[in-house]
Amino acid sequence: MKILVAVKRVIDYNVQIRVKEDGSGVHTDNVKMSTNPPDDNAVEEAVKLKESGKVKEVVAITIGEEKAQETVRKALAVGADRGIHVKADSYIEPLGIAKILKKVVEKEKPDMVFLGKQAIDDDCNQTGQMLAAMLNWPQGTFTSKVNLKDKSMEIVREIDEGLETIEINLPAIVTCDLRLNEPRYASLPNIMKAKKKPIEPMVAKDLGVDITNRIQQIKVEEPPKRKGGIKVSSVAELVSKLKNEAKVI
């Protein structure tokens, strides 16, 4: 079996986001970047399945600028066998990403595609579902547990009411939740070995798909500053303010 794992380069989750003065976006120059956290869970689960002997090959793919190759190198350092870097100079919406991934799936013919459930930058939570629709494959979203069988997999997924267990046939799309596993750190020897693993270059514009963005970003603004709280002298005053000023009761 083969697993294709999609990884995305995003601003590190520990970084304080700063909006540009002209409102055109957020500052990314000289800002620490890293792999999207749920994508780390996707890579970890794929590598664990390979280590168990159920999967023969793990291929990591990223779509983005030249520096995005770093996310593939990280995946290779934790156990992926080879990488694919689809070069794109500008932001591509989830629909365009799904179209590119579909082309790569048709070429690589994996048994499963693993993705993070959503990216922490645009927070769309759409790519996996769109890819499943385009391929007409079953999907398991918000996955917190995977049990791989011969021609199917049992998925435990997080829903509003709690947990849901489903069984889907292969090939399939799986979007991974943070609760799925604990991603490992890449050791220095493995980081050095990853430099020798192959990364196949591609160009998004050469794949023959329409990746034109459908949504226009007008302006980015910081959320309003929170006002300081006040002290009240009695419960009656608190209830009065909640009722007459805040109008929440």
Write down the pLDDT at residue 201. 95
Does residue 145 belong to any structural domain of this protein? yes
Does residue 79 belong to any structural domain of this protein? yes
Instruction: Answer whether residue 146 shows pLDDT above 90.
Output: yes
Give mean pLDDT, residues 1-5. Answer: 96
Q: How much is the pTM?
A: 0.85
Average pLDDT, the chain: 93
Does residue 63 belong to any structural domain of this protein? yes
* pLDDT single digits (tens) 70-117: 999 999 999 999 999 999 988 899 999 999 999 999 999 999 999 999
Contacts 24+ apart (CB under 8 A), 131-136: 131/98, 131/101, 131/102, 131/105, 131/173, 132/172, 132/173, 134/98, 134/99, 134/102, 135/102, 135/105, 135/171, 135/173
Q: Which domain holds residue 204?
A: 2-244
For residue 220, which phi and psi values (nearest 5 degrees)? -115, 130
> Tokens representing 10?
């995003």
Return the minimum-mean-pLDDT range out of 41-50, 93-102, 225-234.
225-234
Does residue 96 belong to any structural domain of this protein? yes
pLDDT band at 227 (very low <50, low <70, confident <90, very high): confident
* pLDDT single digits (tens) 25-38: 888 888 899 999 99
Q: Tell me, rounded to whole angstroms, the distance of Cα 11 from its chain centroid.
A: 12
In 3D, which of 136, 155, 158, 160 has the Cα closest to residue 145? 155
3-class DSSP state for residue 64?
Answer: strand
Does residue 249 belong to any structural domain of this protein? no
Does residue 111 belong to any structural domain of this protein? yes
d(CA 179, CA 37): 11
d(CA 169, CA 155): 11
Instruction: Answer whether residue 23 shows pLDDT above 90.
Output: no
Does residue 18 belong to any structural domain of this protein? yes
Give mean pLDDT, residues 195-218. Answer: 91
Instruction: Answer whether residue 247 shows pLDDT above 90.
Output: no
pLDDT band at 51 (very low <50, low <70, confident <90, very high): very high
Number of domains, the chain: 1
Write down the pLDDT at residue 216. 87
d(CA 170, CA 150): 9
Does residue 200 belong to any structural domain of this protein? yes
Task: Please count the CA atoms within 13 angstroms of the CA of 197 that sit on its side-chain side.
Answer: 25
Give mean pLDDT, residues 141-156. Answer: 94
d(CA 199, CA 34): 18
For residue 29, the domain's CATH number is 3.40.50.620
Contact 142, 180 (CB under 8 A): no
